[in-house]
Amino acid sequence: MPRLYTFNISDCAEFRLCDFSPGQLKRFVFEYDFSVGWDHEILLEEVLALRNGAKYPTCLAGARKCPPQDCGGSRGYERFLKAIRNPKHPEHADMVRWSGGHFDPEEFDVAFRNRGLRHVAEVERCFDAG
């Protein structure tokens, strides 16, 4: 089993994915922690050949929508889901309004994710140029 690397959001200035070989990045945890601790385990399944005209980085697929920002970590997210799924829940109306009127936790928008990746790539190119 490959070694499990763990990165915290504060490590971003120190480490970049391009600093590691694909073998080193077979599996790693990205810790996104602003007081509540969200861990994302990343599994590198395959490195594809570059295609002419394609934009990188690119998300090919995924599952589920990200929890709303500041929902209170995994426990807060569970409470949020319970409230939005049950119209009789005392917090239902407040949670639906807080989340923008509609929240489907099973939804995944690959185009939206790729727009976010384009932004990250543009920002990183700015740092590479300096």
Which pLDDT does position 127 carry in this prediction?
57
CA distance linking residue 78 with residue 76, whole number of Å:
5
Q: What single DSSP character describes residue 65?
A: P
Contact 122, 82 (CB under 8 A): no
Mean per-residue pLDDT over the chain, rounded: 79
Q: Where are the domains of the chain?
A: 1-44, 68-130
Amino acid identity for residue 59 in this structure: C
Is the entire prediction scored with pTM above 0.85?
Answer: no
Residue 89 structure tokens: 């829940």
pLDDT tens figures, 69-100: 888 888 899 999 999 999 999 999 999 999 99
pLDDT tens figures, 17-46: 677 777 777 777 777 765 667 777 777 777
